[in-house]
Amino acid sequence: MLARAIYNTGIRLYRAGVGLAAMGGKKKASLWLNGRQHWRSRMQQAGIGRHPLIWVHAASLGEFEQGRPVLEELRRQYPGYKILLTFFSPSGYEVRKDYPGADYVCYLPLDTYRNARDFIDIARPALAIFIKYEFWYHFLTELYTRKIPVLLVSGIFREGQIFFKGYGGMFRRLLQQLTHIFVQNEASLRLLQGIGIQTASISGDTRFDRVAALLTEQVSLPLMEQFAGGHRLLVAGSTWPEDEQLLASWWQQADRQGMKLVIAPHEIHESHIRQIQSLFPSAVTWSALKAGAAPSDVLVIDNIGMLTALYCYAYIAYVGGGFGKDGIHNLLEPAVYCKPVIIGPEYSKYFEAVELVALKGALAVSGLTNLDDYMKRLLNEPAFYEKTASVAGNYVMDNKGATGKILQYIQENRFLSRE
């Protein structure tokens, strides 16, 4: 089959590219390769497959957080099953490799026929759950062949994807092999129905359930409280260089009214941190602050995993990514804390951002003028601030419930035993 041959060639080329990147000193590529070495013996030594098992797969950290409510509810309702959590990307695995909600956490092996066969031989899952996307041909085909139920949760589909192209037949068949597809919105459901997929339904996005849970999991950060010192905070999360340049331009010319700035960049490698510090010469890093450095009015977070806790300290949140081709990051995390959210202009691929901008709970800016106008209003007009903040918080709470729909489907179809 030509399409499969092309796919297999692409997989081999991807592996070769990662190898070259690792040889060139790219840390992420090295982690990707090293984490997959001897994976068969690692799984066997860990005892994976010796007990009834549910397999949950996430591409990276964001997808894990998205599917986390489903994983944790499965663990609560079906304690007789072990949970295997796999990641494709080091940015997920390296942060959550010690996640206590799963019994085993590992990398997903490269998608080859042999790897898929051996992985499923060892794991023997009773149920497999893929979060949002990750349509690996050999893994999904092997699961289908063995009649193991597979669910896609929080799926989102767009017209430009390969499934809806004339040459996308192989991937359309993968969708047909999935036991059920839970999608986030009506547009995704219509696209699937348009190519004959009937095993799909709208559940909503499990991210709403996840971020709503943050309200009961608030983490205290005394050092952050010390840094704030009673000042209002602008917390900029998951920023890219374009975001940081815009914020620096505003910071240098604005009437900040004593506000302090916290920047949690998407990439925390040393050269990027130095680049941010060149834009904000007075900035201090979190690591330096912990070591006793003198406080400043700008704080740069040089680690991963703090952002969700940081947003609850914000007066205003800025969510990065909206000036690049990849689009904005998770704006629901600050919204749940009833914080006004500012984003860049590239958000059309994210239905929650489209809806929240339309409701005026998120404010989209295209440059310095927009940003300055909105910041002045948020800082000087209490009624505008309160309305924007309450819309943001209410939007999250009004869209909860996807996890319950997915668990109900699992229960009704008796994929798992409660014994």
304: confidence class by pLDDT, cuts 50, 70, 90:
confident
**Is residue 16 included in any domain, yes or no?**
no
Number of domains in the chain: 2
Q: Give yes or no: 63 in active site.
A: yes
- Report d(CA 87, CA 103) in Å as an integer: 14
Q: pTM to 2 decimals?
A: 0.84
**Catalytic-labelled residue, pool 63, 244, 333, 352:** 63
pLDDT digits (tens, 9 = 90+) for 231-260: 999 999 999 999 999 999 999 998 889 999
Q: Are residues 358 and 232 part of one domain?
A: yes
Q: Which of 276, 325, 322 is nearest to 302 (CA)?
A: 276
Q: What does DSSP assign to residue 236?
A: E
Secondary structure of residue 200 in the 3-state scheme: strand
Q: Are residues 89 and 67 part of one domain?
A: yes
pLDDT digits (tens, 9 = 90+) for 43-94: 999 999 999 999 999 999 889 999 999 999 999 999 999 999 999 999 899 9
Give the HSE-up count for residue 152: Cα atoms under 13 Å, Cβ half-sphere: 28
What range does the domain containing 275 cover? Answer: 214-398
Three-state secondary structure readout of 298-366: EEECCCCCCHHHHHCCCCEEEECCCCCCCCCCCCHHHHCCCCCEEECCCCCCCHHHHHHHHHCCEEECC
Q: Is 267 exposed, middle or buried (0-12, 13-18, 19+ CB in 10 A)?
A: middle
Q: Are residues 200 and 59 part of one domain?
A: yes
Q: Are residues 385 and 307 part of one domain?
A: yes
**Is residue 18 included in any domain, yes or no?**
no
Residue 342 has pLDDT above 70, yes or no: yes
Token pair of 79 as six digits: 């304690």
